[in-house]
Amino acid sequence: MGFRLAELVERLGGQLVGDPELFVTGIAPLTDAGASHISFLSNSKFREQAGQSQAAALIVSANDDAAVAETYRGARIVVKNPYAYFARAAQMFEAQTAYVRPAGVHPTAWVDPAAKVDPSAHIGPKVVVEAGAVIGPGAVIDAGCYIGREAEIGEGTHFFANVTFHARCVIGKRGIIHSGAVIGTDGFGFANEGGVYVRIPQVGRVVMGDDVDIGSNTCVDRGALADTIIEDGVKLDNLIQIAHNIQIGAHTAMAACVGIAGSTKIGKYCTFGGAAMVVGHINIGDKVNISGGALVSRSISEPGVYSGSYPIAKHSDWEKSAVIVRNLPTMREKLRTLEKTIKTKTEDEES
């Protein structure tokens, strides 16, 4: 199993330098690749490794190609984004060996008679599908999943084992939800009355677009009144908490252990590093990049990279410290001005 380089270029594009009939059987890292592999260089600091690689072919950018051509003697596919090209090539190799599940419903699965399951869908063993659920063509539902009433699952979407997808939740086409994820549980909504918490019914939904990936043990809460919205192409890693009424814009990605508090609106093409935390009821604009471990405590409208947090303290002390920190640039300029004044006066007195 594998591909000729000409086939890869025909499917994915790029400029081929070398033998188009060269056959590669898989993708491997620069240091591990052998004579039947294709590898990739997406970070220029690994040019030396690329030059010494035993791979039959490399996926490289134009700048890196010029740098490694002197030492690397294999074929090269020159592209704008080697990492994305690698991802698409890897999908092609994966498709050659992927297990194709037979269409139909496993005899141990329970599907409510009112549910709508496309004949081409695959429902594995011990799956519960409640009334009114709609499962699109080519969907794959693995063992132990629960799909609530009136839920909608789009074409080609794959639920791995033990996914819980609660009532009326929606996911579009080609989605992937990994094992242990819970979609549509109640949001954390309580009203305090004299020190006693009164539960607020959570009657909204979770509505997800196409090409959404949800990692293992990630939780996405349903909205209290309106819906929690996750737009097309969003990628959520493992162990993430998305609270109720959050909106996440298209093609935003979050690494593991991120926590987003309720009613926050996040724009398109954002990234969140691992364990970043975001308070509720704020807005984050498009193309904002939050570093790992950062605490976002206010709205952000300007694109860019944001980092940092602040040690916990009594709130009154924290407010005083925050004011001081915020004024440090002004204080620094005043000190510099004062130093210049003292220096000038000293020089005048000495002269």
* Token pair 């063509």 in the structure block, residue: 137
Residue 320: the pLDDT is: 86
User: Nearest-5° angle of CA 216, CA 222, CA 226?
Assistant: 145
Q: Give the whole-number percent of the chain exceeding pLDDT 70.
A: 99
The encoded tokens of residue 237 equal 């890693």
**pLDDT tens sequence across 252-310:** 999 999 999 999 999 999 999 999 999 999 999 999 999 999 999 999 999 999 998 87
DSSP lists the bridge partners of residue 339 as: none
Q: Quick one: pLDDT band at residue 311, thresholds 50, 70, 90?
A: low
Q: Quick one: pLDDT band at residue 326, thresholds 50, 70, 90?
A: confident
Listed residue (174, 197, 171) closest to 184, CA to CA: 171
Whether 244 is catalytic: yes
**pLDDT tens sequence across 150-199:** 999 999 999 999 999 999 999 999 999 999 999 999 999 998 999 999 99
Q: 165: helix, coil or strand?
A: strand
Residue 312: the pLDDT is: 63
Give the integer Cα–Cα distance in Å for 234 and 204: 20
Residue 153 backbone dihedrals phi, psi, to 5 degrees: -125, 125
Classify residue 300 by its DSSP letter: B
**Would the CA dihedral through 94, 98, 104, 106 be positive or negative?**
negative
**pLDDT tens sequence across 40-91:** 999 999 999 999 999 999 999 999 999 998 899 999 999 999 999 999 999 9
Catalytic residue, candidates 37, 122, 166, 244: 244
Using DSSP bridges, classify how beta strands 228-230 and 247-248 pair: parallel, antiparallel or unpaired. parallel
Listed residue (5, 67, 79, 77) closest to 36, CA to CA: 5
Residue 349: the pLDDT is: 75
Range ranked top by mean pLDDT from 50-54, 109-113, 251-255, 330-334 = 251-255
Q: What is the mean pLDDT of the chain?
A: 93
pTM comes to: 0.84
If you write DSSP's letter for every residue of 102-141 in order, what string do you get? PSEE-TT-EE-TT-EE-TT-EE-TT-EE-TT-EE-TT-EE
Q: Which residues contact 40 (CB under 8 A, 6 or more apart)?
A: 27, 30, 58, 59, 60, 82, 83, 85, 86
Q: 82-97 and 5-12 are packed helices; what angle lies between their axes, rounded to 10 degrees?
A: 110
